[in-house]
Chains A and B, each alone.
Chain A
Amino acid sequence: MEKRAIFQGRLLPFALVAPQLVVTLVFFYWPASQAVWQSFLQEDAFGLSSEFVGFANYRDLFAKADYYRTIGTTAFFSALVTALSLSIALFLAVQADRQLKGATAYRTLLIWPYAVAPAVAGVLWFFMFQPSLGLVSQGLRGLGFTWNPLLDSTDAMALVVMAATWKQVSYNFLFFLAGLQAIPKSVIEAAAIDGARPVRRFWTIVFPLLSPTTFYLFVVNVVYVFFDTFGIIDATTAGGPAKATETLVYKVYSDGRVGGDLGGSAAQSVILMVIVIALTAVQFRFIERKVQY
């Protein structure tokens, strides 16, 4: 069935899409094009004038060890958060799927974190793990661990990884649970009769059948870790100590806002933009083909 509205004249359709167009133009294309333009400019030390420098900002960026370190940090951080949030969510979803009766309460509890804004989550975790007063820190100290994410870079990384993971688990959980429930019960029963024990059943039947969900979540999580964790990092460690938790997105902010290097910061934004576009393209390609099994 074709659904097509017929409009008299030209004006009405434009009027109808105009708000959407304006929003997209003002909040996406305009800043994006600004960033691209900005990335080709260099300001003088006082920010009074700027000149066109071509790809100099990009060359500078890739010439500094600093940037590679941030790439490394981001890769490490993303890999850890994605792997953790996917596997924890999958584990919880499998448990919930087993006893769906009690799952409504269980499910609600697990969705909560997702309703919390990243910055709030960051503050929450910051307080819990605050070296001198934080509840968890005191507990850890009581157990004989020294814990200081403000000074120790490993502790800081652990903290942002935990906070970022905690936030993403609920989203992944919902998708995994839905994916699990879409697997016909009789297929699992057939495998049980076919002599596959639960663990083997999981890896040979359930996990492969979940692969479209897993792939979708993988892409979504990578995008999340790259961009949405800004609030968490800003509220907990502010990229520190000694830039140990500075990810690509955070560096855009700290170089641009704090360091005042607008050209370099813009160049970094453009690179990030290219990464998102690439990820989205990959996702669309696969979703379209539905990740064949």
Chain B
Amino acid sequence: MAEVVLTGVGKTYAGGVTAVTDVEFTVPDGAFCVLVGPSGCGKSTLLRMIAGLETITTGTVSIGGRVVNAVEPAERDIAMVFQNYALYPHMSVYDNMAYGLRNRGTPKAEIETRVREAARVLELGDLLARKPRQLSGGQRQRVAMGRAIVRKPQVFLFDEPLSNLDAKLRVQMRVEIRRLQRSLATTSVYVTHDQLEAMTLADMLVVMNKGRVEQIGAPLDLYRRPETLFVAGFIGAPPMNLIDVAIGPDGLRPVAGDAGIVGGLGIAVPATGARLGIRPEHLHVVGDEPAPEGGIALSYTVSAVEAVGAETFLHGRLGATGPDVVIREPGTIAAAPGTVRRVVARRDDLHLFDRETGRRIPLDA
């Protein structure tokens, strides 16, 4: 068991592309860390540096208290699950799992025991004699997992292991990976660009953007208190409504369109302007009730209604011509397109960001 510590890690490829800049975090022993971010943000590069498949340009990576910058992948005591599984096509499922143990000179009997055990856990028992091409996508995924767990490494690394599976299987395998990681208590670093996968798997979520870390924390902490505009927009589905705001005579008002916001927030908006963030699920359509204490009320013109049963999505705009805003209400609500409704949000559910720097402006200060 081991903790993984990254200090000032950066990567510049031979061609001059800087993929990762100054990344710093510690994955505690046994924790499940998820790296999430849009395509091309440097997640894979970072993971491959931990694996030893890419050289580290700046900073250090240490695993279990040992700096591994100059250590071969084989000697880092890690196992990796690749996006395309990277099974050895000419070997049976059994040999795929046994290969790493054989390379390390594990006794035959021990190999047999470990492979059988992994096969039992992953329900691969009947498939041991098959070649990878005779397996379904989900089964290949399991073999790749099996190959990782038989070695009992200090760290598991995953690079988008579920992205080649269909939606249903993906959910199933996601649960399975989480269960397996819990029971083995092996430190894991998992890369994905799917924020739902990230939220459900992580003990510790690292949001990356353009090669830098935006924010690190527990998934729900990031959801409740995004520190930057990027995180606010990235975490949560459908994404947070972000409205450019300025201070008018009667408090906040949107920059574009007519005044649709009623009630000030009692804070100073930076001269450069600010952006108000409200998640769709935190907006509620109400009658004539006043806005909650310290919260805001909006006038909202409904343009489309999507009822999916368990919840209803409203699409519309602030005021009559203001910015687009999405609302997510539980159950079904009556709201005809074209009507103007009153919408409120609690103060605790509001997020304010500096438009220039993208940083959070505390509302409780």
Q: Residues of A at under 8 Å CB distance from B?
A: 184, 186-187, 189-197, 200, 204-205, 208-209, 211, 293
Contact = CB atoms under 8 A, between A and B. Distances in A.
A293 B88 CA distance: 10
Given A186-B82, A186-B84, A194 B89 contact: no
A193 B103 contact: no
Interface in B61-86: 72-74, 78-80, 82-84, 86
Chain A, interface SS category: helix
Given A193-B73, A194-B74, A187 B100 contact: no
B90 A293 contact: yes
A193 B84 contact: no
Contact of B80 (A190, A197, A211): A190
B63 to A, nearest CB: 13
B168 interface: no
Contacts of B131: 293
A196 B103 contact: yes
Given A190-B80, A190-B82, A196 B74 contact: yes
B223 interface: no
A195 B103 contact: yes
Given A186-B83, A189-B51, A191-B88, 13 more contacts: A186-B82, A189-B73, A189-B82, A190-B82, A190-B147, A193-B73, A193-B74, A193-B78, A194-B74, A196-B74, A200-B103, A208-B90, A293-B89
B38 to A, nearest CB: 22
A187 B89 CA distance: 9
B71 to A, nearest CB: 12
Task: With a 10 A CB-CB cut-off, give which of B51, B72, B82 has the most chain A CB atoms.
Answer: B82
Contacts of B84: 184, 186
Interface of B: 51-53, 72-74, 78-80, 82-84, 86-90, 99-100, 103-104, 131, 147, 151
A52 B93 CA distance: 63
Nearest to B159: A186
Given A187-B89, A205-B88, A208-B90, A194 B99 contact: yes
Contacts, number: 61
A41 to B, nearest CB: 52
20 contacts: A186-B86, A187-B87, A189-B53, A189-B73, A190-B86, A192-B53, A192-B73, A193-B52, A193-B53, A193-B78, A194-B74, A194-B100, A194-B147, A195-B74, A195-B100, A195-B103, A196-B99, A196-B103, A211-B90, A293-B90
Contacts of B52: 193
B51 to A, nearest CB: 6
Contacts of A211: 90
Nearest to B53: A189
A244 B53 CA distance: 53
Contacts of A186: 82-84, 86
A194 B80 CA distance: 9
Contacts of A191: 88, 99
A183 to B, nearest CB: 9
A194 B72 CA distance: 11
Contacts of B53: 189, 192-193
Contacts of B87: 187, 190
Contacts of B147: 190, 194
B102 to A, nearest CB: 9
The 5 A-B residue pairs with the shortest CB-CB distance in the complex, in nearest-first order: A293-B90, A194-B100, A186-B86, A195-B103, A190-B86
